[in-house]
């Protein structure tokens, strides 16, 4: 099948991957757009895993204001080089993450940062709910652990469904951009301000 420039452009618009990567993915899948997206995502995961240990000493601090200035976000994203930090792809990612934080109100960046106190409190609530619903004792713990998994997807930035594309998580968004720019990227920290309320502060390792 002939891979047209329009097909490549459509795939690039949907994935932000490089033009040559898009063309190769379409060739591998005989022009099937959805399968090509899967190929690019798998490639992104592989590349992200290889780059995960690289030092990220450069980056930017991005800001976002919402609701007529009543919600504001500052977010720091790190990458490996100042060159990548100045690219449109990285700058767009920073803005998208800041906008997502404003809209979704995460409390942590990743699940490893959720404190034991938070988890203990949620487990007690989920266990009491299951018992109140009349669930058998032998499945209560499974129900609790299942709800803890959902809790992570609600409060951890990287596991939240991305507000502009709920079929992907924010972690998927970062992974895809790692594949595009060819460097490790980390969300280092964010602060979310709401007029008249305490700020939400999250900082990763």
Same fold, 58-110+156-203 and 115-153: no
Examine the pLDDT at 17 and tell me if it is beyond 70. Answer: no
List pLDDT tens digits, range 133-192.
888 888 888 898 889 988 999 999 999 999 999 988 999 899 888 888 888 899 999 999
The per-residue b/e assignment along 121-135, b for 16 or more CB within 10 angstroms, e otherwise, is: ebbeebbeebeeeee
Average pLDDT, the chain: 87
Examine the pLDDT at 91 and tell me if it is beyond 70. Answer: yes
The answer to pTM > 0.85 is: no
| Strand intervals (E) in 100-185 | 161-162, 165-169
Say if residue 15 is exposed, middle or buried (CB neighbours under 10 Å; 0-12, 13-18, 19+): buried
Residue 153 near residue 165, CB atoms below 8 Å: no
Does the domain at 58-110+156-203 match CATH 3.30.499.10? Answer given as: no
Higher local confidence (pLDDT), 56 or 110: 110
Residue 167: predicted pLDDT: 87
In this structure, the number of other CB atoms found within 10 A of the CB of residue 96 comes to 21
The ranges assigned to domains in the chain are: 5-51, 58-110+156-203, 115-153
Strand, coil or helix: 103 = helix
C-alpha–C-alpha distance, residues 133 and 163, integer Å: 32
C-alpha–C-alpha distance, residues 115 and 95, integer Å: 28
Mean per-residue pLDDT, 117-138: 88
Does the domain at 115-153 match CATH 1.10.286? Answer given as: yes
Higher local confidence (pLDDT), 160 or 41: 160
Does the domain at 5-51 match CATH 1.10.10.10? Answer given as: no
């Amino acid at each position: 099948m002939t891979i047209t420039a329009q097909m490549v452009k459509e795939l690039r618009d949907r994935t932000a991957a490089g033009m040559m990567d898009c063309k190769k993915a379409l060739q591998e899948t005989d022009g099937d757009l959805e399968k090509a997206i899967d190929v690019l995502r798998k490639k992104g995961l592989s590349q992200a895993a290889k780059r995960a240990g690289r030092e990220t000493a450069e980056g930017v601090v991005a800001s976002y204001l919402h609701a007529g200035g009543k919600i504001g976000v500052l977010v720091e994203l790190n990458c490996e080089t100042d060159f990548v930090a100045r690219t449109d792809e990285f700058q767009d990612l920073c803005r998208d993450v800041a906008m997502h934080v404003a809209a979704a109100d995460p409390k942590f960046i990743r699940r490893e940062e959720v404190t034991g106190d938070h988890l203990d409190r949620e487990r007690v609530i989920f266990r009491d709910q299951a018992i109140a619903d009349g669930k058998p004792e032998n499945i209560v713990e499974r129900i609790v652990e299942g709800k803890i998994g959902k809790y992570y997807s609600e409060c951890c930035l990287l596991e939240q469904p991305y507000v502009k594309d709920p079929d992907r998580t924010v972690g998927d968004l970062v992974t895809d951009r790692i594949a595009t720019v060819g460097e490790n990227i980390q969300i280092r920290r964010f602060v979310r301000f709401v007029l008249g309320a305490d700020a939400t502060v999250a900082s990763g390792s």
